[in-house]
Amino acid sequence: MATIGLIRHGLTAWNELGKAQGISDISLNEKGLRQANAIAERVSGGHWDIVCSSTLTRALQTAEAICDKLGINSIITDDRLREINCGLIEGTTEDERIFKWGKNWRSQNIGMEPFEEVAKRGMEFIEEVCSTNPDKRILIVSHGALIGLTLQHLLPQVFPKTHIDNASITMINLDNNGWECSLYNCTRHLESMNLN
């Protein structure tokens, strides 16, 4: 049975400002680095074989903190784990989007990557890493939309909608009956440190 831990990167300055990040390469801020250390401490309580990450800095910084804590020497990076390409809205807040494109900005052609494509590449990566590493325990550090849309594709009856917090962990398992989710968007490790 494959076990996957899906981790969203720690907080960035743009997260705090409510700006769409997409594929803009934004680093973790000070609180985000502390969150990365907190999730690293959380997962160090279990055995993990492999750490994978998006190629964007905020995810890599989170993955590096995890690897340091686990004593894992290498990170498998893959562009398929990058965040949704937000097109013209990258770097804007909701108020700025409404001012520029109106309240129906989501229905306009502003260069956003289709949700189906995001889910497809997330699924492809998970299926590939599971098939090449059967019965391994794998941590994947990625982004809110990528994780959420992939979960909606994997388990549509369980996840008609999703919300993925910074530095959260979601656990999914694959067995002969298919995928199941045993833990969703858990941030317990942040609460005691006032990091959520």
Catalytic residue among 16, 47, 64, 83: 83
70 is in an annotated binding site: no
Catalytic residue among 9, 143, 153, 189: 9
106 is in an annotated binding site: no
The total of other beta-carbon atoms located within 10 Å of residue 194's CB is 8
82 is in an annotated binding site: no
89/191 Cα distance (integer angstroms): 31
Q: Answer whether 167's CB lies under 8 Å from 8's CB.
A: yes
150 is in an annotated binding site: no
15 is in an annotated binding site: yes
11 is in an annotated binding site: yes
Alpha helices for the chain (secondary structure H): 13-17, 30-43, 57-70, 94-101, 115-132, 144-154, 188-191
> 130 Cβ partners below 8 Å, 6+ apart?
2, 4, 138, 174
The question of whether 9 is a catalytic residue gets the answer yes
12 is in an annotated binding site: yes
91 is in an annotated binding site: no
144/185 Cα distance (integer angstroms): 10
59/111 Cα distance (integer angstroms): 23
122 is in an annotated binding site: no
Q: Closest by alpha carbon to 142, among 21, 30, 46?
A: 21
Binding-site residue ranges: 8-15, 58
Q: Which residues are catalytic?
A: 9, 83
- Which residues are part of a known binding site for substrate? 8-15, 58
